[in-house]
Structure 1
Amino acid sequence: MQTPKAILFDLDGTLADTAPDLAAAVNVMRTKRQLPPTPYELLRPFASAGARGLIGAGFNITPEAPEYESMRIEFLDQYESAIALHSKLFEEVPTLLQGLDALQLPWGIVTNKAMRFTNALVPQLDLKQARCVISGDTTPHAKPHPAPLLEAARQIGITPEHCWYVGDDLRDIQAAKAAGMLSVAAAWGYCGATEPTQWDANLVLHRPQDLLEHIKEWL
């Protein structure tokens, strides 16, 4: 474990609770098809898995289904039209980011969300002070490929081995390891179908404030 000189975060399920708006987009689609809404509790774990996960949870179909692509486009358009009605930063995240600023530790965002959504959402969540914002289409590869994390380190000007990456999905941990960064599982997030303790992350934390305490121990 290296002394952190920069902290990178996933967006959905790590910094921000965006599941309400993502789930709402699925249920608008279901209503149009005269189907009852899928309970929020069933959709929430898939919020970090993007259109593939949410459409799968809401309609029980996979990308191989002939109707999937048109439904994916419909879902994304619906989400974009109401992207920040209920989304907000997780409790303790503002305090965490203020703590990083106080420690003069640069921080940035690396998400698999496409740029069209990231650019619309980040300003509304008051995350404009991020030193970099890397979207799913900023580089030719998305997580779990290390390319987005390496691009973030390049933009901030910190070597990857001195960056910590925090995320709530197994892909985040895989990407961090592939990039040579310390991996932190954000167990307060959505986390998908597996327990964060099974991801082999360097740290598994249950509150954003815990991250700040660990960082202070290393400085």
Structure 2
Amino acid sequence: MVETEGVLFDLDGTLIDSRQAIIEAYRQTFEQDIGRPLPAPLEDASNLMAPRPPELFAEWAPGDGDPLELERAYGAHYESGAYRFCVVYPGLHQMLAALNDRGIVVGIVTNKRRSRVEADFDFLGLAESDFATVVTADDSVERKPHPRPIEIGLERAGLDPVSSWYVGDGPHDVEAGSAAGTRTIGAGYGYYGAERLSAASPTTIARSLADIVTAV
């Protein structure tokens, strides 16, 4: 078995539970900037996570405004207070400490914009210095399931994909990690669930953050 050199993580649904924060920011955008309620299917967080906000607005609010302007409104709502609905998953700090104690490099690769990641970090007491790299939607035109964001994370952290893992809660995370050449862990406790993750064929599925330490 190849010894683990590094682990890159998705953020939302993997390290932090921002489900209610994201729903709240979208709700405020629909109600205050579009003028109608949040569509019922978007109350399901799994329908909100894969698309970037402009794509979501183009699909769910066609003709209600420029998707890029609506993304800016969404970001403003998130950063002005919706982030306060975020919580870390149980055992996050213990998991990071355990990986650090073993000399394993840790990083984040997320489809989320950097300004919203910074709002999360400030509120939750996390720091970018806790990670070898933090790759956000501002760093790559491509997004997961495209492998490029993870490839950027591997390059910046100085990691070989063969000795690295990518951990995420969605099928698109598993697909991206596999395409980038890493082994993959599906975060079965996240937004998509173990059944949907299994269909993407991750190397293994974790039921908790503690399982990740065991797996790697």
TM superposition score category, shorter chain reference:
0.7 to 0.9
Q: Is this contact kept in 1: 2:27–2:38, CA < 8 A? A: yes
Name the CA distance, whole Å, in 2 between partners of 1:108 and 1:141: 18
Report how far residue 145 of structure 1 moved.
Answer: 1.7
Cα distance per residue 1:17-48 (max 9 Å; x no partner) = 11111111122234436756777993333342
In the superposition, relative to structure 1, how do residues 92 and 139 fare at CA in structure 2: closer, same or farther (>3 Å)? same
Q: CA shift at 1:64, angstroms?
A: 8.0
In structure 1, C-alpha distance between the alignment counterparts of 2:59 and 2:23, rounded to whole Å: 17
Fraction of identical pairs, as percent? 24
Q: Distance in 2 between matches of 1:54 and 1:126?
A: 30
Instruction: Give runs of ≥4 in structure 1 deviating > 6 Å.
Output: 37-41
**Alpha-carbon separation, structure 1, partners of 2:172 and 2:54:** 13
Which whole-Å deviations, capped at 9, do the CAs of 1:93-131 have from their partners, x for residues lacking one?
222111111212110000011122223323433332111
CA distance in 1, matches of 2:4, 2:38: 44
Q: Which residue of 1 aligns with 2:103?
A: 104
Aligned equivalent of 1:144: 145
What TM-score comes out, normalization by structure 2 length? 0.84
Partner of 1:94: 93
CA contact (8 A) 2:25 2:77 kept: yes
Q: 1:51 to 1:181 in 2, by over 3 A?
A: closer
Q: Choose 178-187 or 80-89, whichever is displaced more.
A: 80-89
1:127 to 2:126 alignment:
yes
Task: Structure 1 unaligned segments of length 5 or more: list them.
Answer: none
Distance 1:140 1:50 in 2: 13
State TM-score, norm by structure 1: 0.83
Retained in 1: the 8 A contact 2:185–2:202?
yes
Q: 1:195 matched to which residue of 2?
A: 196
Asked whether the equivalents of residues 14 and 167 of structure 1 are also in contact (C-alpha less than 8 Å), the reply is: yes
Structure 2 residue aligned with 1:82: 81
Deviation string for 1:122-156 (max 9, x for gaps)?
34333321111001121332222222211211222
Task: Tell me what 2:72 maps to.
Answer: 73
- Over residues 61-115 of structure 1, what are the superposed CA-to-partner deviations in whole Å (9 max), with x where a residue is unaligned? 7168222614433222211222531212111222211111121211000001112
Which SS does the other structure have where 2:185 is aligned? strand
Question: How far did 1:169 drift?
Answer: 1.2
Change (3 A) 1:139 1:27: closer
Distance in structure 2 (CA, Å) of the matches to 1:23 and 1:140: 24
Separation in 1, partners of 2:198, 2:170: 11
Q: Comparing 74-83 with 95-104, which one deviates more in the overlay?
A: 74-83
Q: Does 1:156 align with 2:157?
A: yes
Q: Which residue of 2 aligns with 1:3?
A: 3
Describe the shift of the 1:53–1:200 C-alpha distance in structure 2 as closer, same or farther (beyond 3 A): farther
Instruction: Give, as a single letter, the amino acid of the residue that structure 1 aligns with 2:64.
Output: E
Unaligned stretches of 5+ residues in structure 2? none
Aligned CA distance change for structure 1 residues 212 and 173 (closer, same or farther; 3 Å): same
CA shift at 1:8, angstroms? Answer: 0.5
Q: Quick one: structure 1 residues 85 and 102, their matched pair in 2 at CA, closer, same or farther if it must change by over 3 Å?
A: same
